[in-house]
Amino acid sequence: MSKITLELGSGGRMMRDFLADTILPLLGNRYLEDLPDAGRLPGGIIFTTDGYVVDPPFFPGGDIGTLCVNGTVNDLVVSGASPRFLSLSLILEEGLAVEDLHRILKSIGQASRKAGVTVVTGDTKVVRKGQGDKIFIVTSGIGTSIARPAPSRIRKGDKIILTGTLGEHSLAVMTARGEFGLSARVRSDCAPLVFLLPFWKKGVLWMRDVTRGGLATILSELAGTLPYPVLIREDRIPLSRAVRGASELLGIDPLFMACEGRAVVVAPEKKAEGMLEQIRRHPLGKKAAIIGEIGHPAEGRPGELLLETSTGGLRLLEPLTSELLPRIC
């Protein structure tokens, strides 16, 4: 590879390969070994960072301000940390309307209060017109550790819980762009996942927020670390009518669509039903469902992610290998 391509930002296999082949040989250390979403530092400190380039910056159900707070908060939550502090770096393009910036900053304040985090430092840069695209934001987050994800303790029979419907964020951004002549009454699912924090103490084994690459990519990466196959069932995966219709119309697989307020959780077999019931009591978890399990299919091999289709067949799922929707977050 001699030049950076758009696909490297997909969150899929190409990005993982890029990190392993290009970043780690130069910057690798014990904190980066597993390419975590957040680094575990001495003293129980969990540290994460993320860049936000969503296009357009305003979309149904949110904007780049709500996204930059919730995205960073959620990386901490699924890493077993209680979010505490954020940094905020604004990269502004010359010509951005002050009214738009004020609206975004207002969203950042509201999202921070809702998630229980405080912005404690930041930076502002302005680039010439044409050298950016209105506004980019980089946030870093610090949290305190309350648990450590334990994929090594995942066993056959453990259950996979999805906390809500897939794909609304992707569809909301697509409609805001006016792509494909698409029109749908859908709002982004962008939201903080702090309501999941108590489940770490109740025995949850592993969590990830369903962002770039979608559910299939995230579970493929998990399956690759396990000595068992992983099975999910198509007819149990919750989808809104809007996402189902748009997916069928455009030929986009919702299993690869990004969310910004959903998580996939691995729960011990004996506790899964009870945890599902508790998740459903929260407004953000009403549509939660057990969508699969670890190690069930006799046909599967260790490390494989399989989809049992609604017609009863089995389909091998692999990580996303191209850029489905660039600049989705």
- In the chain (329 residues long), the average pLDDT of successive 10-residue segments reads 79 82 91 89 97 96 98 98 98 98 98 98 97 97 96 95 97 86 83 98 97 94 94 96 90 94 98 98 98 83 94 91 78
Note the pLDDT of residue 35: 84
Q: What is the phi-psi region of residue 101: left when phi exceeds 0, alpha when psi lies from -120 to 50, beta otherwise?
A: alpha
CA distance 66 to 18: 29
* pLDDT for 243: 94
- Which pLDDT score is estimated for 298? 65
Token output for 245: 């219709």
The β-bridge relationship of strands 159-162 and 263-267 is antiparallel
- Give the helix, strand, coil percentages of the chain, each rounded to 5: 35, 25, 40
What six digits make up the tokens of 174?
């697509």
> Which residue is associated with the tokens 């990830």?
208
Tokens, residue 246: 């748009």
